[in-house]
């Protein structure tokens, strides 16, 4: 299992993106991502990538951190790039368009999600009228991912200390299946205790947090500018090209 | 198994959102009680963590998908669970994309529901080790269907992706066998340890 650094590690920094209202930030950057994905032209897509990089720069999140998080996308895009650029109906330009748009979209996730604590993101999603059950599942699952990841790490360490080694064979696979089973049993036992504790403290199926949002003129202005850029990017392609 | 942003045509990823929105809303509002949410989330998190496990294949490795496992433990709720897992993967780890959350949920969630259907047949059979066998079937079928749906998405996006499809299929074929064995072993283990967690398990049945 690979170690993943947390996305909101740099939520404590200060930048114009950090102090942007979470709801306005989510909507504006999401619009920009969608606009960039819709671009059919490589040059305009490069402009989109430049805008994404600018926003990432303004957010002051270190590029080394972003690069570490982007390994998976790069691993997905690299073979795709090679195959499409060798395909007769594809070519280098088509392949580059895909790669540039994919990179721009993933870079924008950092200013969007990485500039606030994840529980603030979840709260903002709720305020944006995402169904409550879904938001709660996101919140609970998020809390437990790190707990279970630690639990799994411990179980794996104890397996390794008894001589287990991952190899390409059926024994490894069936042991993995049983290991997952054990993770399930432990997780559910723990969750039942936590759930009882939650109910006894007044949990009634509704989300309550201490975060309160306030929308100021500056927040609306920033969102308006970004959405205008997003719309402009697509309009250029569909009128000029 | 999940596609990043910028690859698929808008028609494909927008329809992904439409299908996911409709199906997830239906299952969450009509088929799920609010008191089940914490338990569902816990299983979602466990599936999420387990899907980060890497299995070595010779010099390289693949990671587990476990859509079938979600199906046999969560039933219909596997669909919204996979949606949540994919939202978290896109937000936290940048696996997959933002615009493709909908279509990726379809590609993994529908096979999870199929796996659930296959696994329910366990109640109508009476052979030794049937939970392991049906668990394995469910695990393998979920991945095979996932590959089929993924290929369909790539092909309907454009001709220029036609050569990507064989690459995707070949890269995922070992996963079918791997998941079949892992999910089969999981189902057999659960039967002994906590059988009520398996959908379709009947307490009074003699196994």
Domain boundaries along the sequence of chain B: 10-197
Co-location of A34 and A140 in the same domain = no
Residues B180, B137: contact at Cβ < 8 Å? yes
**Hey, are the CB atoms on B55 and A121 less than 8 Å from each other?**
no
- Tell me: domain B10-197, CATH 1.10.1760.20, correct? yes
Distance from the B90 Cα atom to the nearest Cα atom in chain A, whole angstroms? 9
Co-location of A120 and A134 in the same domain = no
* ipTM score of complex: 0.91
Distance from the B179 Cα atom to the nearest Cα atom in chain A, whole angstroms? 8
Half-sphere exposure of B86 (CA within 13 A, CB side): 29
**A with B: how many residue pairs have Cβ under 8 Å apart?**
241
Per-residue pLDDT of chain B (207 residues; tens, 9 = 90+): 778 898 999 999 999 999 999 999 999 998 888 878 888 898 899 888 888 888 888 777 788 999 999 999 999 999 999 999 999 999 988 888 899 999 999 999 999 999 999 999 888 888 888 999 999 999 999 999 999 999 999 999 888 888 889 988 998 899 999 999 999 999 999 999 999 888 878 776 555
| Residue of A32, A46, A29, A31 lying closest to A98 (CA atoms) | A46
Co-location of A19 and A109 in the same domain = yes
Q: pLDDT at position A50, please?
A: 96
Co-location of A14 and A106 in the same domain = yes
Domain membership flag for residue A205: no
Domain membership flag for residue A65: yes
Co-location of A28 and A95 in the same domain = yes
Co-location of A189 and A234 in the same domain = no
Cβ-based contacts of B5 with chain A (< 8 Å)? 33, 36-37, 101-102, 105-106
Give the total number of structural domains in chain A.
2
Distance from the A13 Cα atom to the nearest Cα atom in chain B, whole angstroms? 18
What are the pLDDT digits (tens) for B118-157?
999 888 888 888 999 999 999 999 999 999 999 999 999 8
Query: pTM for the complete prediction?
Result: 0.93
Per-residue pLDDT of chain A (241 residues; tens, 9 = 90+): 445 558 888 988 999 999 999 999 999 999 999 999 999 999 999 999 999 999 999 999 999 999 988 888 888 888 889 999 988 888 899 899 999 999 999 999 999 999 999 989 998 998 898 988 899 999 889 988 988 899 999 999 999 999 888 888 899 999 999 999 999 898 888 888 888 888 898 887 777 777 778 889 999 999 999 999 999 999 988 776 5
Domain membership flag for residue A206: no
Cβ of residue B67 closer than 8 Å to a chain A Cβ: no
Tokens of A228: 């205008």
Cβ-based contacts of A30 with chain B (< 8 Å)? 98
Co-location of A23 and A46 in the same domain = yes
Q: What angle do CA A141, B69, B188 make, to 5 degrees?
A: 125
Residues B102, B17: contact at Cβ < 8 Å? yes
Co-location of A46 and A154 in the same domain = no
**What's the CA gap between B173 and B185, in Å, rounded?**
19
Range of the domain at A110: 7-125+211-240
The residues that bridge with B60 in the sheet, in sequence order, are B57
Mutation pick from B1, B2, B3, B5 vs chain A, by most beta carbons of A within 10 Å, is: B5
**Closest CA in chain A for residue B70:** A184
Co-location of A45 and A95 in the same domain = yes
**What's the CA gap between A172 and A164, in Å, rounded?**
8
């Amino acid at each position: 299992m690979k170690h993943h650094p947390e996305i909101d590690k740099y939520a404590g920094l200060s930048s114009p993106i950090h102090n942007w209202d979470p709801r306005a930030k989510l909507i504006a950057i999401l619009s920009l991502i969608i606009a960039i994905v819709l671009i059919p032209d490589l040059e305009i897509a490069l402009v989109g990538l430049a805008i994404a990089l600018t926003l990432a720069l303004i957010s002051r999140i270190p590029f080394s951190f972003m690069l570490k998080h982007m390994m998976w996308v790069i691993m997905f895009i690299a073979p795709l790039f090679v195959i499409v650029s060798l395909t007769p109906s594809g070519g280098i330009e088509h392949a580059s368009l895909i790669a540039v748009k994919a990179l721009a979209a993933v870079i924008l996730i950092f200013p969007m999600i990485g500039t606030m604590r994840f529980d603030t993101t979840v709260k903002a999603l709720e305020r944006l009228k995402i169904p409550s059950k879904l938001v709660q599942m996101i919140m609970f699952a998020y809390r437990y991912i790190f707990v279970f990841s630690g639990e799994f790490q411990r179980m794996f360490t104890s397996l390794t200390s008894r001589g287990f080694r991952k190899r390409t064979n059926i024994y490894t696979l069936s042991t993995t299946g049983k290991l997952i089973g054990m993770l399930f049993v432990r997780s559910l036992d723990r969750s039942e205790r936590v759930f009882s504790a939650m109910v006894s403290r007044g949990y009634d199926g509704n989300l309550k947090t201490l975060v309160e949002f306030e929308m100021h003129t500056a927040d609306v202005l920033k969102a308006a500018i970004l959405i205008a850029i997003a719309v402009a990017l697509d309009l250029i392609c569909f009128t000029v090209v | 198994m999940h596609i990043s942003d910028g690859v698929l045509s808008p028609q494909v990823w927008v329809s992904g959102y439409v299908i996911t929105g409709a199906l997830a809303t239906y299952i969450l509002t009509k088929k799920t009680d609010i008191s089940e949410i914490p338990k569902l989330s816990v299983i979602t998190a466990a599936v999420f963590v387990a899907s980060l496990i890497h299995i070595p294949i010779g010099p390289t490795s693949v990671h587990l998908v476990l859509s079938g496992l979600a199906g046999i433990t969560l039933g219909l709720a596997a669909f919204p669970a996979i949606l949540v897992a994919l939202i978290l993967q896109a937000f936290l780890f940048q696996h997959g994309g933002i615009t493709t959350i909908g279509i990726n949920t379809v590609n993994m969630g529908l096979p999870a529901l199929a796996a659930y259907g296959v696994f329910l047949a366990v109640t109508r059979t009476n052979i030794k080790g049937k939970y392991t066998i049906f668990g394995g079937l469910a695990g393998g079928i979920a991945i095979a269907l996932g590959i089929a749906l993924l290929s369909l998405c790539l092909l309907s996006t454009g001709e220029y992706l036609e050569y990507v499809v064989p690459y995707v299929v070949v890269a995922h074929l070992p996963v079918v066998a791997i998941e079949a064995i892992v999910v089969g072993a999981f189902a057999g283990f659960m039967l002994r340890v906590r059988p009520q967690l398996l959908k379709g398990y009947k307490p009074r049945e003699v196994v």
